[in-house]
Amino acid sequence: MSVDVDKMNLPSRPEMIDFQGVSMVHYFTDNWANVQNFQARPDDILIATYPKAGTTWVSYILDLLYFGQTSPERQTSMPIYERVPFLELTIPSLDSGKDLADKLPTSPRLIKTHFPVQFVPQSFWEQNCRMIYVARNAKDNMVSYFHFERMNMVQPEPGDWNSYIHKFMEGKIVYGPWYDHVNGWWKKKQTYSKIHYMFYEDLTEDTGREIDKLCHFLGLSPTAEEKQRITDRVQFDNMKKDDMTNYSTLPVMDFKISPFMRKGKVGDWKNHFTVAQSEQFDEDYKKKMKDPTLQFRTEI
């Protein structure tokens, strides 16, 4: 893919800002008032994740579950980021995520956000919407985010790997600390029953089982054949070669640096961390992740 960032009038890379105590870039805060006033409907489904935890994967599963049979042309003609708009994204010369969400003709509307739980627009709670949160272990999440920041012009430059580890541990990356994000949503689940909290590692281990759990949460009952068809379709290799799911149509990413569908593995962190880096990270992790009920797997 050739990147035509100039045409979109994007500055080279955005500055990091402190936004209500969370590190952000303006692309995700410029439309703040409109996003906060978003009018959710009771059947809207919010897919929430820390960036790079498997948002696209789960978005595609949901899109197929709801519309795979009734509107198959969606999957072949609309990129996933239009089928499942990214609520807070505002890039000059592209429709804002909020406008795309407003215009969605589907029922339910599938909407994506990377917001920490405290930033979610009020109406989603008021309308008692279903929410699906996907979490991924910190080390793989960080590796994926590092490569994403290298290739994505709407993110700040990640710098070298070693300094990136420190930025991640300090939460000085876009959307703030991973630790607060996964814990904040986990805690919210204790008081708001309509959150389905799932893990990237579980999805990798047994996609069919996780689709069953999702169906149970959503009250869907696809046939065994349909479930199998979806399970096959959402496998990494299939999504990687599908231009409607691999982000090759979005001209802010430079695939020559790194592809969006990069590896799709649990445990790739072992190819990045030195033993010393891993030990330092684990030490810090223990101090931040005190809730014994929230456990991640770094290998399967």
CA pair distance 62, 159, nearest whole angstrom: 35
Determine the distance from the C-alpha atom of residue 287 to the mean position of all C-alpha atoms in its chain, rounded to a whole number.
25
- For the bound state, the minimum distance from the C-beta of residue 39 to ligand A3P, rounded and expressed in Å, comes to 26
- Tell me which residues are annotated as active site: 114
Nearer to ligand A3P, 14 or 34 (CB): 14
- For the bound state, the minimum distance from the C-beta of residue 257 to ligand A3P, rounded and expressed in Å, comes to 13
Nearer to ligand A3P, 76 or 191 (CB): 76
Concatenated DSSP letters of 252-284: TB-TTT--SS----SSGGGGT--HHHHHHHHHH
CB atoms within 10 A of CB 190: 9
- For the bound state, the minimum distance from the C-beta of residue 209 to ligand A3P, rounded and expressed in Å, comes to 15
The widest CA-to-CA distance across the chain, in whole angstroms, is 52
- For the bound state, the minimum distance from the C-beta of residue 259 to ligand A3P, rounded and expressed in Å, comes to 8
CA pair distance 56, 209, nearest whole angstrom: 18
- Which residues of the chain form contacts with ligand A3P (CB under 6 A)? 49, 51-57, 144, 147, 234-236, 239, 261-264, 268
Tokens at residue 37, please? 């006033």
Task: Kindly tell me the sign of the dihedral angle through the C-alpha atoms of 176, 1, 244, 34.
Answer: positive
Nearer to ligand A3P, 42 or 208 (CB): 208
Segments of 58-143 assigned E as strands? 110-113, 130-135
Nearer to ligand A3P, 129 or 234 (CB): 234
